[in-house]
Amino acid sequence: MTMKENPANAIKDTMWTFLMDKGQKANIPALKEYVYDLIQMTTQKDAGQRKAKQNIPWDELEMTIMSIVIEATCLVLSGELDKLE
């Protein structure tokens, strides 16, 4: 698979700096927390139907997935992921 270049890096408009490489700060603890929440949601026995105290409602599924996507994007844009390669 070929590594693509970040197209935002070519834009010289300050409005888009948050999408450029090094334009974000990684929050790895938040990413891990959202991933663990997703795992809990998908493995809890009630499928979100009953209101058990420790269970996460399925109403939060879309927001949890979006949070993972956002934090993963920040991880890539921060350059922290490059250090692992």
- Give the chain's end-to-end CA distance (angstroms, integer): 15
How many whole angstroms separate alpha carbon 32 and alpha carbon 19?
Answer: 22
Q: Summarize the confidence of residues 28-45 as an average pLDDT.
A: 93
Where along the chain do its domains lie?
20-84
How many whole angstroms separate alpha carbon 22 and alpha carbon 17?
Answer: 9
14 or 71, greater pLDDT? 71
What is the enclosing helix (H) or strand (E) of 65? helix 61-78
pTM for this prediction? 0.77
